Structure 1
Amino acid sequence: MDTTERAIERSSSVIPPWETDPASHPLVKQSVKSIATQIFNRIVSGEYSFGTRIPAERELADTFGESRATIRQALDFLETYGAVARRAGSGTFVAYRRTEATSQVGAEPHGYLNISAIAETISPFEMNVAESILEPEIVRLATIYMSVRDLTKLEQHLAQLEAIVTDAAEFAELEKQFMMTICEGTHNSLIVAMYRIMHEVRRQPQWCANKKRTLTPMRIREAQRALRSLYTALERRDVDTAVECMRLYISSTQEDMIYASP
């Protein structure tokens, strides 16, 4: 059985959640439910994978031969059941994932984490969530606990970053070192260990490729200014400004990655 056949079999074995819901949704048109089912089947089959952005309403309308209003209602219906998530200004993302897909992710016989397996399994959406949770709090702690030696090391990384004009690969690597130095500045071994996992996932080829695509010379200049602002806030022990700088940087980076995704 080839990959396509397995995907079709998998999608046909999953019943859309509204079909087992006691609520009959009499006000939802059958055409809307039909489109929702077709989109749901594409999600289950992996055509629209977890965490990825699904096509725009106009494209879906062309694909299914329906009006954009019907497509919008179908997406609203899917969102009601947690199959998709809407993000203003960014689009609609797949939020549904079968339970067995997440079991034992990255686990190996002796309890060691398999970073390659994690990198292959997690989605950009999951990475975005992890970054949004961890990095602002890492910066909050680092602002308080970074030593003079830590800040000197961070400034050296920043100087190297600011010297780059067009080398996306070198910038991406130095950016990782810059962020890891901030994390180490928390002087919290458990947080460093947790962040190192995410750090190593980002080093995997598939993640590096996406990152490099976003780093145009203009984007490199913008990132350099943002990281300089972050460093200044850390040096001044300005917790609120440092955290806000980090949040803004995460937001801009995540938006770049969304639109760079193939």
Structure 2
Amino acid sequence: MSFLPQSAPRGQIDKAQGSTVQMVVEALAARMASGDYPPGSRLPAERQLAESLKVARNTLREALDILEVRGLIMRRAGAGSFVTEPGGWDGSAPVIAATGPLHLQVMRGILEPEMARLAIVNMPPATIEALSRILDQMHNDADPAQFARHEEEFHLRLAEGTGNPLLVACYNLVVKARRQPQRAAMLRRHMTPERIRSQRESYAALVGALTARDIPHAMELVQQALLEEQRLFMQED
């Protein structure tokens, strides 16, 4: 199936095909997450899947290759493709695979400001101390990948400070989604020394607001940080 005119440049065609493969990956992962294709079940035949998704067979096969690498399916020669059996199964994997950058930003925008508010209301002094220690680690580490891990730990500690186990579980899923390869690639492109310095200042201000139990200022700082990351996301689009 052709998605571009025949006169389109080769690079533009390749980009469109790659985007189509990713859409197929997300569509199939979403079907797994919804239970349409439960763990242990056999996927429909390639021809049937390609027709239902309105894509070429080679596009579907590329998407199945990606799902296999991610451990979401297992392919058996002559038998077809099977959703990974329970045991090695991570129930969050299909959700994460189907989560795009915009989905992630929407969820962070819902959760993170509320985490700051609830943490200020509920967190014990030990949580403030833990956040301060993570801030010290941020100041001592300029490696983009490691800095991102400190950010994850910071937000997970903040989630724990809310005293809401369901919120903690939701944010753990957000962290897993943040570790997707495309986001890691974005970090490498944009986590310059200048941006890391700016992030450190932002987190230092947030720790100050949390320590002062200043809910409006803490929520404002979180929202500003999210807007800055949203601007980076829009540059990638």
Q: TM-score range by the shorter chain?
A: 0.5 to 0.7
Deviation at 1:214, TM superposition (A): 1.6
Q: More displaced, 197-206 or 145-154? A: 197-206
Distance 2:176 2:33 in 1: 16
Amino acid paired to 1:136: P
Question: Which segments of 5 or more consecutive residues in structure 1 lack a partner in the other structure?
Answer: 12-41, 51-96
1:209 maps to: 185
2:219 maps to: 243
Amino acid paired to 2:31: S
Distance 1:132 1:193 in 2: 16
1:103 maps to: 31
Instruction: Assess if the C-alpha contact under 8 Å between 1:214 and 1:260 holds in 2.
Output: no
TM-score between the two structures when normalised by the length of structure 1 = 0.59
Deviation at 1:49, TM superposition (A): 7.3
TM-score between the two structures when normalised by the length of structure 2 = 0.64
Deviation at 1:256, TM superposition (A): 1.8
Among candidates 118, 121, 140, match of residue 98 of structure 2: 121
Instruction: Assess if the C-alpha contact under 8 Å between 1:106 and 1:115 holds in 2.
Output: no
Among candidates 136, 143, 149, match of residue 113 of structure 2: 136
2:141 maps to: 164
1:186 maps to: 162
Among candidates 126, 132, 135, match of residue 155 of structure 1: 132
* Identity in percent: 29
RMSD between superposed Cα atoms in Å: 3.0
Deviation at 1:132, TM superposition (A): 0.6
Question: Which segments of 5 or more consecutive residues in structure 2 lack a partner in the other structure?
Answer: 4-14, 40-85
SS at 2:33 equivalent: coil
Q: More displaced, 206-215 or 135-144? A: 206-215
Deviation at 1:249, TM superposition (A): 0.6
Count of residue pairs the alignment pairs up: 175
Structure 1 outlier segments of 4+, above 6 Å: none
Deviation at 1:206, TM superposition (A): 3.2
Larger RCO, structures 1/2 (Cα 8 Å, 6+ apart): 2
Amino acid paired to 1:161: M
